[in-house]
Amino acid sequence: MKNPTLRAAAAVAILGLGVSLAACSGGSSNSASDSVRAEAEYSGPQVDITFWNGWTGGAAPVLVPQLVAEFNETHPDIKVKSNAMEWADITQKMPLAIKAGKGPDVAVAHGDDVATYAAQGLLLKTDDVVEALGYDEDDFPEGLMDAGQFDDSQYGVPWSVTPLGLYINKDVLVKAGLDPETAPTDQKSYLAALEALKAAGVQGEWADGYVFTGTFEFESLLWQFGGELFNEDVTEATFNSEAGVKALTWMTDLIEKGYSPANVAQDGNINALIGGETAFNWNGVWQTTNEALQSVDWTAIPVPQIGTEKAVWSSSTHWMFPANKNQDPDKSAAAATFVKWMNDNSAEWASTGELPAQNTVREDPALLTDYPALAPFLEQLEYARYETVSPGITNAMAEVTTGVNEAMLGKKSPKEALDDAAEKATQLLKQNKAQYGG
Amino acid sequence: MANPSIVPPLRGGSGLRGAAARRKTLTAYLFLAPFLVIFGIFVLFPAVYGLWISLHVWNPLLDDHPFVGLQNFFDLFTPGSITYGDFWESMRATGIFVVASVPFLLAVPLAIALLLNRRIKGGTVFRGIFFAPYVLGVAVVSVLWRYLLDPQLGVVNAVLELLGLPSDIPWTVDVPWAWISLVGITVWWTLGLNTVILLAGLKGINPDLYEAASLDGAGAWRKFTSVTLPGLRPVMTFVVTVTLLSSANMFGQSFLITQGGPGTQTRTAIMYIADQGLVQNQMGAATAMSYVLFAILAVVSVINFRLQRDNTK
């Protein structure tokens, strides 16, 4: 739509539609609407609802059916059918399934996907759910509700968070004559530890340029140095700022100064930590449940503050209510009740290597009694930063990884790598805006 | 034209037998019909539909598919456009892989086939051994080699260290090593197929020709160049074409072993097209790229066929 008059007309039409839909979603139970009618306790007719999720690994395949069975038992009006498949399969299948009216009634997505789904018109608004279930921003870690928003509406309800932490192989520290109980917290102490390790012949942190480790370390450092990935309205990449260059230079310096080997392969660093060849690894909370790691005397602490402020990367997952063609409002309402119950009963979720999002659950002292390794991750949530919310954002984020990768492999200087990546990312953001609006 | 021996002449030729020939043609088409229907639905229709898609900004998840004419194609040839740099880099990666792998995928299987063609003890066993990797899936092969070739923790570098050789080679991480790995793995993985086909070709060469050549005083090399190679020509044409095309379509190895790195240097054309179409939902751009790739491969195939034509007559 290049024609401005046409575009304005369309905007008016869409606005009008929105208003009329909002008007009829007010309270009547069975009206067609673009948002979910919600009740803390579902009170409609008996319904079967389907639930799609990508939890196929670790403890989840046992835990999810358990939770669902428990829910079904206590809610005779609702029967939830859980359907687990690979995340990648969900990403490919769900949009088409929803368009065909065959999608699930409730699903879970990663934080960086919610806005994309919303912009594609695949989701019901959940502002009413949040309100009816009595949720408030303060019920979740700071910034997490925002991560489920698009275009001033709520589309996701938080379920879990997964921040980065610093994993330590204690035996390696001891061998290098370091006290594993006095962990590094800032640039000075971290460098001192790396220096001591180097003197003992150990490369203390294996830095790489891959997603999950290098990319997320770069983002954490970027924020720590006061930078941002993108500008406010996500139309321009800004990760090549001075802060970004500082962050990436810190990482390439690890190699330069001999603290890290060059050319580390993907997952090489966590494998090296498990193999006792390195002492530190910046990695996600999901590694707490890595079985191979349990053979090692390990601990995790908050990532050190290298820059001028505290910050750490985190991802999140959110509940979504698909806008299937002819979606039955009763089913969506029942799904909301399911979501509330799941969140309230999510304490066991920690066993899968993710932190339950709901504060009351996470702050229950029992959680740390059962899962003491999570303490440092919980501690960081105060200043954790979540993924950028913007439709189609994953393409721009892939450019960040490419840039970090090129710098870490010495193909380009940090500045050059980030400049090139930012230029490309900005181009992609423009394309996203043109296609998804918002 | 070349080799009349491959395809037996279909038509009788003389006017008297015209009616019979027509009936034969009809029968042939009847037998072909089931295949043609499937071919039409799953190959021809998508190909034409793809051409239509390539004329649009086609995000399958949005209802609106704006028509942009040939813009997607123009973008591919306009420096600075959103796809130009990445696309041609991926084409370059594909080119490097084809040029580096095809000679090995022809020469090595041919050498093995020649050895296996001699009457040696346990020939069948060796044939099995060489063919074995081919039955593995690309995921298995890639994961296996990713572990073996890990620069710091892999077995290959560890063995090199034992031998006192450089042991910090970034096999899966940096070029040119990543290319050496990708080509080496692919050759190891797929040489069995070409070997078996070439072996069948060798068995098809009339032994009398070798005997005649011997009587004329030809040595081993002369026999190879004057009897074996010409005898293999039809089989070779097939093998070269199939190998060229499958190398140009390489995807899984790069995707799983190097993740397209360093940066995007080992991201092949198919890998970039798949990312554009299936991950970024830019179907229009992706189909346009597919057609450009198709056009180039078509030209390469034609050149290949011409080069392989029998010029000795």
Average of pLDDT values for B57-83?
Answer: 92
pLDDT for A31 equals 36
CB contact under 8 A, B168 and A261: yes
Contact list, B264 vs chain A (CB under 8 Å): 402
Residue B64: the pLDDT is 87
More confident residue, A90 or B180: B180
Mean pLDDT of B73-85: 95
| Cα A69–Cα A74–Cα A77 angle in degrees, nearest 5 | 95
B chain contacts of residue A268, beta-carbon cutoff 8 Å: 150-153
Q: Say what the pLDDT of residue A397 is.
A: 96
Residue B103 confidence (pLDDT): 97
Tell me the average pLDDT across A356-370: 92
Q: How far apart are CA B57 and CA B276, in angstroms?
A: 12
Question: Which residue of chain B has the CA closest to A412?
Answer: B263
Residue B210: partners with Cβ closer than 8 Å, 6 or more residues away: B223, B227
Chain B environment of A271 (Cβ under 8 Å): 150, 153
State pLDDT tens for residues B224-272. 999 999 999 989 989 999 999 999 999 999 999 999 989 999 999 999 9
Q: Compare CB distances from B263 to A392, A395, A402 and report the shortest one's residue.
A: A402
Helices first, then strands: H and E counts in chain B: 14, 0
Do the Cβ atoms of B152 and A264 come within 8 Å? yes
Residues A406, B263: C-beta atoms closer than 8 Å = yes
A99, A265, A435 ranked by CB distance to B173: nearest: A265
Fill in the DSSP letter of residue B58: -
Sign of CA dihedral A389, A395, A397, A400: negative
CB contact under 8 A, B264 and A271: no
Q: Which of A23-37, A160-174, A360-374, B110-124 has the lowest mean pLDDT?
A: A23-37
Average pLDDT in chain A: 89
Report the SS3 class of residue A125. strand
A119: nearest CA in chain B?
B62
Cβ within 8 Å of residue A251, ≥6 positions away: A207, A214, A217, A218, A221, A404, A407, A408, A414
Write down the pLDDT at residue B15: 55
Give the per-residue pLDDT at B60: 84
Q: Which two tokens stand for residue A157?
A: 């309800």
Indicate whether B3 pLDDT > 90. Answer: no
Q: Do A263 and B151 touch (CB under 8 A)?
A: yes
Parallel/antiparallel/unpaired status of strands A280-284 and A78-84 = unpaired
Contact A394 B60 (CB under 8 A): no
Which of A51-60, A212-221, B156-165, B166-175 is the least confident region? A51-60
Q: Which residues of A touch B59 (CB under 8 A)?
A: 435
Structure confidence by residue, pLDDT tens digits, B279-312: 888 999 999 999 999 999 999 999 988 887 766 5
Q: What is the pLDDT of residue A281?
A: 97
- pLDDT tens across B8-34, in order? 444 444 555 678 888 888 999 999 999
B132, pLDDT greater than 70: yes
- The verdict on pTM exceeding 0.90 is no
* Region of A276 on the Ramachandran plot (φ > 0 left; ψ -120 to 50 alpha; else beta): left
DSSP tag of A216? H
C-alpha A101/C-alpha A114 separation (Å) is 19
Residues A265, B172: C-beta atoms closer than 8 Å: yes
For the segment A316-346, what is each residue's pLDDT rounded down to a tens digit? 999 999 999 889 989 999 999 999 999 999 9
Contacts of A270 in chain B (CB under 8 A): none
Please determine, for residue A438, whether its predicted confidence score (pLDDT) is greater than 60: no
* Domains of chain A from N-terminus onward: 4-162+315-377 (3.40.190.10), 164-313+392-436 (3.40.190.10)
B46: which residues sit within 8 A by CB, 6+ positions away?
A: none
pLDDT tens sequence across A378-432: 999 999 999 999 999 999 999 999 999 999 999 999 999 999 999 999 999 999 9
Residues of chain A that touch chain B, judged by Cβ-Cβ distance less than 8 Å? 1, 92, 95-96, 99, 120-122, 206, 209-210, 261-266, 268, 271-272, 275, 277, 392, 394-395, 402, 405-406, 409, 411-412, 424, 427-428, 431, 435-436
Structure confidence by residue, pLDDT tens digits, A78-105: 999 999 988 888 888 898 899 889 999 9
**Whether the predicted pLDDT of B2 surpasses 50:** no
End-to-end, the C-alpha distance of chain A in Å comes to: 15
**pLDDT for position B17:** 65
Q: How far apart are CA A328 and CA A49, in angstroms?
A: 10
Mean pLDDT value across residues A255-272: 95
Q: How confident is the model over A202-214, as a mean pLDDT? A: 95
Q: Which of B85, B146, B263 lies closest to A405 in CB terms? A: B263
Q: Which of B58, B150, B168, B173 has the most A C-beta neighbours within 10 Å, making it the best mutation to test the interface with A?
A: B173
Report pLDDT for A1. Answer: 37
Structure confidence at residue B311 (pLDDT): 61
What per-residue confidence (pLDDT) applies to B310?
65
Q: A320 with A108: CB under 8 angstroms?
A: yes
CB of B278 closer than 8 Å to CB of B270: no
pLDDT band at residue B161, thresholds of 50, 70 and 90?
very high
Give me the percent of chain A exceeding a pLDDT of 90. Answer: 74
The arithmetic mean of pLDDT across residues B147-151, rounded, is 94
Question: In the structure encoding, which two tokens stand for residue A426, read together?
Answer: 């900005």
pLDDT of residue B282: 93
pLDDT, position B118:
86
Which of A228 and A130 is assigned the larger pLDDT? A228
Tell whether the model's pLDDT for residue A19 goes beyond 60.
Answer: no
Mean pLDDT confidence for A16-24: 36
Chain B residues lying within 8 Å of A96, measured CB to CB: 60
Say if residue B313's pLDDT is above 70.
Answer: no
Name chain A contacts of B85, Cβ cutoff 8 Å.
424
What is the spatial distance between Cα B266 and Cα A230, in angstroms, rounded to a whole number? 28
Identify all chain A residues contacting B174, using CB atoms and an 8 Å cutoff. Answer: 263, 409
Kindly determine whether residue B261 and residue A405, on different chains, have CB atoms separated by under 8 Å. yes
Task: Determine the average pLDDT of the residues in B117-135.
Answer: 88
